[in-house]
Structure 1
Amino acid sequence: MTEPLRLSKRMSELGLCSRREADEWIAKGWVRVDGQVISELGSKVLPSQTVTIERQAAAQQSKLVTVLINKPMGYVSGQAEDGYQPAVTLVKAENRWSEDGAPLQFHPTQLRSLVPAGRLDIDSIGLLVLTQDGRVAKQLIGETTDVEKEYLVRVQYDRPGRLPDNQLKRLQHGLTMDGKELLPAKVRWQNDDQLSFILREGKKRQIRRMCDMVGLKVLGLKRVRIGNVKLGDLPVGEWRYLGADEVF
């Protein structure tokens, strides 16, 4: 027989919201199981039961924003550390891209619970996603995510000649990190000193460590795409809203 699950966990699994949002909605009486309002935290449900949310929850969720930043070097993705500013400090009215077509008005309340969905090293630049929406965060950094992330990486080979083809193949598949084999990656030359990496995972400093294993030194790293969403012409240090028609 199937074991019952915590309602908040089941709601997250169904992609309705994050667990934190689920607990908030349950406490407010905005969640129904098989048509019955459930307002007790910690309640459990069977996978076969139908979970629905009230319109107040859907309305609250529709106000949640997701922001795309072209992160410059010298900013950290999350919490401030070692005197470095977090990327969220760039999200202010004067840094909004003038060509952002989203009909939203910026308001400081949008900074509440605006957190990075994935990370980008302090010395890397490019597309960083900040979101208030637990569904977006789960899609991009959840355990089962398979959303592609594309990077342009300027490299220098630390041995005579050019990187051998068999080492390029190792970058594509065959490297082990932290005792675990890496998922297959798409790696190809863009030009003489720049590689394109397309990954479906994001271990800490993964690309730099991969390059180090085959004798390549990373001189510059820029993320240009996450899923179907591209960095495009967004200027460095500026941000825009995720468009209503854009999905990762």
Structure 2
Amino acid sequence: MPDSPAPAPRWRRAPAPAAGKPTPADGASPVRLNKRLADMGLCSRREADEWIERGWVRVNGQVAPMGLKVLAADHVTVDRQADAAQAQRVTILLHKPVGYVSGQAEDGHLPAVTLIHAQSHWRGDASRTRFAPAQLRGLAPAGRLDIDSVGLLVLTQDGRVARQLIGEDSTVDKEYLVRVSFGEVAVNVQAAFPPAQLARLRHGLSLDGQPLKPAQVDWQNPEQLRFVLNEGKKRQIRRMCEQVGLHVTGLKRVRIGRVQLGQLPVGQWRYLGPGETF
């Protein structure tokens, strides 16, 4: 009989930090272990602290204590139980309706997470994941969508996803369809709107005293603009439009990175599939 394959080792070496992450040139500057694990793209700092607390992280062969600082040359290994725990964390894609807030309840309006339950799970979801109430624990929005806006909202238990979408170094773009009026003009707005003002929407505006990054802004049809942004200031599109005399009458987010809203019905949700990435 052929020999059985050897079981995978319980501990695996943590990879090098992701490309573009700053590291001390001489390895002499220590950083907190939770930050190093997060910079490696393995988890969030909060999740790293959970791993350390459970004894799932070793440095130079020794179980790491909380608060430990490490050097670039230190040998960091992670128990595969951490991988298994991470794999259980879900990311959910919701088609948020008008009237729900993204985060905590405010002014009598319910948070979007209240829409996540078995009855609102989209039947067209190709994922084989089954809903369980435990998936609501720690489920939080990775980004905002205004109460009067609709479209794709990401809620996740996975700190890696949250970091990718809303971390300081996030480069994930987001696409919106925005219905507008211009003064008294609500039909064929494109013909009435000055091209120079469209150029300002693309680049040249500031919010909160800071210049905005360049944006892709084009007419989708005579009454609707398509925005692609690489940042997400509060009510950014509405405030941008106000500065050039446009009034937003409808706003829908249709894409985040490589993930499309697609045919997901309003008020329903699905899981981020195992092969899907932002």
Q: How do 1:176-215 residues align onto structure 2 when only pairs under 5 Å count?
A: 176-215=206-245
Work out whether 1:96 is the aligned partner of 2:126: no
Identical counterparts, % of pairs: 64
Residue 73 of structure 1 contacts residue 123 of structure 1 at CA under 8 Å; is this kept in 2? yes
Which of 95, 110, 129 does residue 135 from structure 2 map onto?
A: 110
Work out whether 1:60 is the aligned partner of 2:60: no
Shift >3 Å, 4+ stretches: none
Question: How big is the shift at 1:13?
Answer: 1.3
Question: How big is the shift at 1:176?
Answer: 0.8
Q: Secondary structure at the match of 1:99?
A: coil
Once residues 50 and 68 of structure 1 are traced to their aligned partners in structure 2, the CA distance between those partners, rounded to angstroms, is: 37
Which moves more between the two structures, 223-232 or 19-28?
19-28
Residue 139 of structure 1 contacts residue 145 of structure 1 at CA under 8 Å; is this kept in 2? yes
Task: Determine the structure 2 residue equivalent to 1:74.
Answer: 99
**Mind listing any 5+ residue stretches in structure 1 that lack a counterpart?**
none
Work out whether 1:238 is the aligned partner of 2:229: no
Q: How do 1:19-34 residues align onto structure 2 when only pairs under 5 Å count?
A: 19-34=45-60
Once residues 69 and 194 of structure 1 are traced to their aligned partners in structure 2, the CA distance between those partners, rounded to angstroms, is: 23
Q: Residues 106-147 of structure 1: CA distance to partner in whole angstroms, max 9, x if unpaired?
A: 000000000000010000000000000000000000000010
Residue 159 of structure 1 contacts residue 215 of structure 1 at CA under 8 Å; is this kept in 2? no
Which moves more between the two structures, 218-227 or 16-25?
16-25
Q: Secondary structure at the match of 2:218?
A: strand
Once residues 154 and 64 of structure 1 are traced to their aligned partners in structure 2, the CA distance between those partners, rounded to angstroms, is: 36
Work out whether 1:126 is the aligned partner of 2:169: no
Q: Secondary structure at the match of 1:144?
A: coil
Question: How big is the shift at 1:34?
Answer: 3.6
- Calculate the TM-score normalised by the size of structure 1: 0.97
Residue 70 of structure 1 contacts residue 235 of structure 1 at CA under 8 Å; is this kept in 2? yes
Alpha-carbon RMSD across the aligned residues, in angstroms, is 1.2
Once residues 122 and 7 of structure 1 are traced to their aligned partners in structure 2, the CA distance between those partners, rounded to angstroms, is: 38
Letter in 1 for 2:268: E
- Calculate the TM-score normalised by the size of structure 2: 0.87
Higher-Rg structure is: 2
**Mind listing any 5+ residue stretches in structure 2 that lack a counterpart?**
1-25, 186-190
Task: Determine the structure 1 residue equivalent to 2:30.
Answer: 4
Question: How big is the shift at 1:215?
Answer: 0.3
Which moves more between the two structures, 43-52 or 12-21?
43-52
Task: Determine the structure 1 residue equivalent to 2:205.
Answer: 175
Q: Secondary structure at the match of 1:61?
A: helix
